[in-house]
Amino acid sequence: MTIRGVLFDVDGTLYDYEKAEEAGLHEHLVAEGLSARFESPAEALRVWREVREEEYPRFLNGELTFAAQKAARIRRFLAHAGVVGALEWTDEAATAWFASYAVQRDASRQAFDDAQLALGALAGRFRLGVVSNSVTAHQRAKLDAIGLLGYFTEPLVCSQEHGSAKPAASIFLAGCEALGLTPAEVAYVGDDYEKDAVGARDAGLQAVWLDRSASGGSGAVDADIRVIASLTELMSL
């Protein structure tokens, strides 16, 4: 069936989250006088991301609120840095520390170089939307800040408000419904092979895996999943 709409993941697909995260963490640790607590900026980033990868899924599965997972991450990260009493910090104190870090992170946020070019080319031919494992207000503000919000149909579909996270089929189907299209008429583009590509394919959408590093992932790619190394390749849809 002809593709009439395209849904996008945000972080790692349109927004260079990891670059902003790295810069923001480094600047904030320097400002807080904590950079010397780690062997190197790379080690601090490794610990930060390790904690994130363990705590963020607790938000996605409903165990923690979006704010609570931030607080949990900060307590664990600062405890690893040797900050006395960090594990006993209140949610308010930990969330305030995260908010200060986020100011530094957001000062560096930007879209990937290929995002606006691709979206500009697609906007006149397809209905465009977002399906993201996050919070709607958070992702809307982010897309607005990096100059991409205007390309997308509202509402953005995010896991917090939808009630389920990728790779659940229901969130992809909700995205199709937001576009007013059937799953077979919609392509989904994301950088996570399992959550984005396999999840979208299993929900009946046409899956596109964005493999920017051209790494091929950890195993064979299913034949019914298209692989691209740049969003500009979508211009041939």
- What are the DSSP calls for 133-176, one per residue? SS-HHHHHHHHHHTT-GGGSPSSPEEHHHHS--TT-HHHHHHHH
Q: Which residues of 27-36 are buried (b: 16+ CB within 10 A; e: fewer)?
A: bbbeeeebbe
pLDDT at 101 over 80: yes
**Nearest CA-CA partner of 12 in 134, 151, 127:** 134
Strand partners, 206: 187
- Whole-number percent of the chain with pLDDT over 90: 93
**Nearest CA-CA partner of 153 in 191, 126, 134:** 126
pLDDT at 182 over 70: yes
The reported pLDDT for the residue numbered 217 is 60
Q: Give the integer Cα–Cα distance in Å for 121 and 127.
A: 12
The CA–CA distances, whole Å, from 139 to 8, 90, 103, 131, 149 equal: 12, 26, 15, 10, 9
Residues 6+ apart with CB under 8 A from 161: 135, 136
Render pLDDT for 116-148 as a digit per residue (tens, 0 to 9).
999 999 998 999 999 999 999 999 999 999 999
Task: Give the pLDDT mean for 98-122.
Answer: 96
- Whole-number percent of the chain with pLDDT over 70: 98
Render pLDDT for 205-228 as a digit per residue (tens, 0 to 9).
999 999 998 876 666 789 999 999
